[in-house]
Amino acid sequence: MCVAVFSFSQPIRTAQPMSTTVQRLVIAGLFGGALMTAIACAGGEMRLPLARRIVIYSGARLAPPQERMEEIYHWVDEQWDSISMDPSFMIISAPQEGPVYPWEELELNPQADTATIAYQGPPGVARAARRAFVIYAHLHLMDRQGRLDRWLPEVSGGNEFEVERAILARTSDAWLYQRAILDAPPNGILDELMFVAEGGFLDAFILTARPDAFVEARREWLAGNPDRTDAYVEWFRETFERNPPGLRGASGGG
């Protein structure tokens, strides 16, 4: 017999076996719940529901490996516990009507103990997207406080572009987990980030969307990858049926 186990402020256990669909729906509906769901089977084995294939309107698709979902499960569980329980900082998330990229409305106070970040969606409805944006804000707070080595030791002490790339990659992983395991609904901005990261175009995505933020990194990247921008733009247009951010004019988060 298997029962569902959900990570919240305290574990929530079901008395009866539940289908995978019901397990996903229950965890997705928990108010303010964390990002976890697992199945406990006879013998004490813990496992996640099978990762689901992700398909978007253009027909582009991802098939996340189950082993990767297991890896994400462990760090995202620990990080969300820290976000929920660490009293040394505060993250304020503000819903807004239109699309917004994580970096566009992120603000850190001078004391580096409070972050404010905007995300698209009505209050209380877009909880899955909100969690991914909160993880992005949390990692920037940790960087500002000199505590990023706990979460991203490989870029602790790195330059601004290396840190931003690692934070966006981690945010993408958190969203991939929610989409594949928790059946989070589509979100245009986060789906872009997820497909870009999985497609190997994260550098091009960042440096095209934010050319003025990472001038030296962009110069070096263009010199070393003279054909990569064209390949990225072609791939992005095929995948999302629009131009990538940074090539859309004044609107669309570019």
The predicted pLDDT at position 7 comes to 37
Name, in order, each residue with C-beta under 8 angstroms of 33's C-beta and a sequence gap of 6 or more: 6, 8, 27, 127
Strand 2-6 and strand 12-13: pairing?
antiparallel
Question: Which mean pLDDT values do the consecutive 10-residue runs of the chain (254 residues) have?
Answer: 35 32 33 45 67 94 95 94 94 94 97 96 82 97 96 92 98 97 94 98 98 97 96 97 86 43
The predicted pLDDT at position 157 comes to 83
Q: What share of the chain is helix, strand, coil (3-state, %, to 5)?
A: 45, 15, 40
Helix residue spans in the chain (DSSP H): 20-29, 66-85, 127-144, 160-181, 188-198, 202-209, 215-224, 228-240
- pTM of the predicted protein model: 0.83
Cβ neighbours, 10 Å, residue 92: 12
Helix or strand or coil: residue 94? strand
Token pair in block for residue 135: 């993880």
Write the burial class of residue 67 (CB in 10 Å: 0-12 exposed, 13-18 middle, 19+ buried): exposed
The predicted pLDDT at position 122 comes to 77
The predicted pLDDT at position 89 comes to 96
The predicted pLDDT at position 125 comes to 73
As a whole number of angstroms, the distance between CA 99 and CA 134 comes to 16
The predicted pLDDT at position 253 comes to 45
Evaluate whether 242 touches 197 at the Cβ level (below 8 Å). no
The predicted pLDDT at position 44 comes to 56
